[in-house]
Amino acid sequence: RKEVEQDPGPFNVPEGATVAFNCTYSNSASQSFFWYRQDCRKEPKLLMSVYSSGNEDGRFTAQLNRASQYISLLIRDSKLSDSATYLCVVRDNTGKLIFGQGTTLQVKP
Amino acid sequence: DAGVIQSPRHEVTEMGQEVTLRCKPISGHNSLFWYRQTMMRGLELLIYFNNNVPIDDSGMPEDRFSAKMPNASFSTLKIQPSEPRDSAVYFCASSLVRQVASYEQYFGPGTRLTVT
């Protein structure tokens, strides 16, 4: 079983749609959680951290459920520029970041 | 700030040749990470350094891979001899570790390696 699992997609949605990605992790000792964004043929960049109480950054909302070992990312009012691969990332108890395979989002006009 | 700098951006080499990838982290950062990304396996951590000291190299695939960080502003990842299965994008990332709780890693643009 992979340490961090994501549905690879692709998710094809129209502009303005709301889309949600989910992620599960296997190590219950994981310390911190993040979503990174990676554009085609580019490097990953931090999108947002994920806090236990849930957090929001503009159109993006992240949630964490430690009991179920589940992380989610919600994108509201999606834009063409949101098209990318979204990587679920977990920091384990040794300090290393473990990346999921990524979920690809394609927003259509 | 120039960000993390990697060179070369693209490398095409023949099987058996030595390959050296270079990385300059963001000035002031104290941790450096080497990753490999392929379609099949995604993004995998190969090795990371803290204050120029290798902390965890458990992700290095085999003895053909080696990494060094002689000073705070430079690191190399070497593959000798290279094999076609080493073809991938190799990313270097750096971060400033202030607290254990959370920190951001900044990635370089990557080196796209093709071994024929």
Mean pLDDT computed over A5-22? 95
- Residue A80 DSSP code: G
pLDDT digits (tens, 9 = 90+) for B30-49: 999 999 999 988 999 999 99
Is there a contact between A101 and A88 (Cβ–Cβ < 8 Å)?
A: no
Among all residues of chain A, which has the CA nearest to that of B40?
A: A101
How distant is the Cα of A43 from the closest Cα of chain B, in angstroms? 5
Which of A94, A95, A99 is nearest residue B43 as measured by Cβ atoms? A99
CB contact under 8 A, B48 and A32: no
Q: Which of A44, A91, A94 sits opposite B43 (nearest CB)?
A: A44
Mean pLDDT for the stretch of residues A46-69: 93
- How is residue B78 written in tokens? 């070497």
Is B43 an interface residue toward A (CB < 8 Å)? Answer: yes
Classify residue A16 as left (phi > 0), alpha (psi -120 to 50) or beta. left
pLDDT tens, A14-43? 999 999 999 999 998 888 899 999 999 999
Token pair for A64? 């964490």
